Amino acid sequence: MTRRALIAALVGLNLLLMVALVLSAVGPPAAYAQIDAGRPGDFIAVTSEISGRDADALFLLDVAKRELHVFIPEGPQTRRLEYAGYRDLYDDFPGR
């Protein structure tokens, strides 16, 4: 192996090691989840696609009351949400 090829290989190895060091030092961003469930006023919000419509529904879980509330858009052009009802999760999941 010539001297020039050896220097090129060592420079390439150093670059590879530097990239590995940077990738191992930079981790994914921290995700903070809700840890104290059951306090009054705590809600979890989730959206989901409505089958057959070009819109998403907003689901709000009332953690203290164990109720799942649903809001849907009034129409395709409005930004208002309409209350569509709720589910009592104590009734849906007895014994839990």
Residue 95 has pLDDT above 60, yes or no: yes
Tens of pLDDT, residues 5-14: 999 999 999 9
Check: CB of residue 58 under 8 Å from CB of residue 47.
yes
CA–CA distance, 35 with 7 (Å, rounded to integer): 54
> Mean pLDDT, to the nearest integer, of 58-83?
87
In the block, residue with structure tokens 């208002």 = 80
Structure tokens at 68: 């799942």
Domain ranges of the chain: 43-92
Q: What's residue 79's pLDDT?
A: 79
pTM of the model: 0.53
